[in-house]
Amino acid sequence: MPRRRRSAERPAVARGQRFLRGRQERAVRERAEKGVSRPRPRSSRPGVPVIDIQDVHKTYSVGDIAVHALRGVSLRIERGEYVAIVGASGSGKTTLMNILGCLDTPTSGVYRLNGLDVRGIDEDALADVRNREIGFVFQSFNLIPRTRAQANVELPLAYAGLARGARHERALAALRQVGLGQRVHHMPSELSGGQQQRVAIARALVTNPAMILADEPTGALDTVSSGEVLSIFDRLNDQGRTIILITHEQAIAAHARRVVRISDGTIIADERGSSTAEAVR
Ligand code: ADP
Ligand code: MG
C-alpha cells in the first residue's frame, strides 16, 4: 500500500505503523478465511478491566545500546473510560500504545486484555482479538490515496468478507456518524486534514470495536479541525466506547475524564477529573 512518510514521523514510528498495517491486514484476512465475520459476543466481562498492565517494561536494542522506552508501567482502564495518556516526545507513549493495541509485546510484565493474559494467546487469536476489539487512529490518517472515502472505510469489512450491500451500508453509517455523509465519494486529496481524520475515525469505527486507541490524532490538524475530531471522541465515549487518547498537548488531554502522565517511560501521575464518576457506564 503506497504511503508517504511525514518528516515529523520518526523512522521507528513509521516502522511501527507498517508493522501494524501488516498485522491488521493479516488479522482481517484470516478472519475472512475462517468465515467468522458475523457479529460475535464481546469477550469482555462485567467487572473485568478492559486493560490491566502490571510492571510492564519495554527495552529496544539498537546496535549494542539498550533503549528503555518503558520502565515498569502499571495501568488499569475500565470499560467506558476516556483516558488521555500525555507526555513529552520520546516519553514512551507510542510504545505503550503499541503494547495496549497488541501490536508489540512487553519485554517483561503482564498485560491482561479483557482479563486474558495476552502472553497465553496464540498469534492468530491475538490478531482476531485486536481486529475485533480495537480501532486505531493515527496522526497521519493513513488513508489509501486515490480511493474514495467510502471505499477507505469499507476496507476492514471487505477483508472480512462482508457482502457488498452490507459493506456500503455500514460504511455510510460510520461516515454519517463522523458528519461526513455528504463526502462519501470524495478522494482523500479532495478532503481537508480534519475531514481525512474523520474518515480514518469512521474506518476505525466500522468494525464496531469496544475500544479506540488514538495516537496524536490531532497532531497534524488546525484548532478548528482538532475541536471537531475531539468532539467525535467525546460523543463516542458518551455512547459507552472506551477511548484512549495519546497526546503531548495538555489542552487536548483536558478532554478526557482521566489523565495519565508519562515521563521517561514511567507513569508520574494519574488524575481523574470531577466527571470521572460518570465514566463507567
Ligand atoms: P513518544 O511516542 O512518547 O514520542 P516513543 O514510544 O515513540 O515515545 O519512544 C520512546 C523511546 O523509545 C524513545 O527514546 C524512542 O527513540 C525509542 N524507540 C521507540 N521505538 C523504537 C524502536 N522501534 N527501536 C528503538 N527505539 C525506539
Ligand atoms: Mg509517539
* pLDDT for position 93: 97
Most confident of 1-5, 118-122, 153-157, 212-216: 212-216
> Pick from 177, 164, 235, 239: which is nearest to 203 by CA?
177
Helical (H) or strand (E) element with 269: strand 266-272
Distance 88 CA to ligand 2 centre (A): 9
User: Ligand 1: does its nearest atom lie under 6 Å from the Cβ of 32?
Assistant: no
All domains in the chain, ordered by first residue? 11-33+48-278 (3.40.50.300)
Among all bound ligands, the one having the nearest atom to the CA of 20 is 1
Q: Rounded to an integer, what distance in angstroms lies between the CA atom of residue 218 and that of residue 94? A: 15
Contact 183, 56 (CB under 8 A): no
Scanning the structure block, which residue is given the C-alpha cell 472505510?
Answer: 153
Could you tell me if 264 and 91 are in contact, meaning their C-beta atoms sit under 8 angstroms apart?
yes
Which protein residue has the closest C-alpha to ligand 1 atom 19? 12
Percent of the chain with pLDDT over 70: 81
What local confidence, expressed as pLDDT, does residue 17 receive? 56
Cα dist. 138→107, 197, 240 in Å? 24, 8, 21
Determine the distance separating the centroid of ligand 1 and the alpha carbon of 154, expressed in angstroms: 32
Query: What are the respective helix, strand and coil percentages of the chain, to the nearest 5?
Result: 40, 25, 35
The H-or-E segment that residue 109 falls in is: strand 108-113
Supply the residue whose CA is at minimum distance from atom 10 of ligand 1: 92
Which residues neighbour ligand 2 (ion) by CB within 5 Å?
Answer: 93-94
Residue 41 has what pLDDT? Answer: 37
| From 64, 73, 91, 95, mutation site for ligand 1 pocket: most ligand atoms within 8 A of C-beta | 95
Higher pLDDT, 37 or 238: 238
Count of other CB atoms within 10 angstroms of residue 156: 25
For residue 116, how far is its CA from the centre of ligand 2 (angstroms)? 26
Q: State which of 2-11, 21-30, 42-51, 56-65 shows the largest mean pLDDT.
A: 56-65
- Looking at residue 29, its pLDDT comes to 53
pLDDT for the residue 24:
58
Predicted confidence at residue 46, as pLDDT, reads 72
Tell which residue, 227, 219, 183, 228, has the closest CA to residue 94: 219
What count of Cα atoms within 13 Å lies in the side-chain half-sphere of residue 224? 3
Q: What is the pTM of this model?
A: 0.83
Q: Judge if the beta carbon of residue 67 lies within 6 A of ligand 1.
A: yes
Task: Give φ, ψ of 12 to 5 degrees.
Answer: -60, -40
Q: C-alpha grid cell for residue 44? A: 469482555
Mean pLDDT, residues 46-68: 94
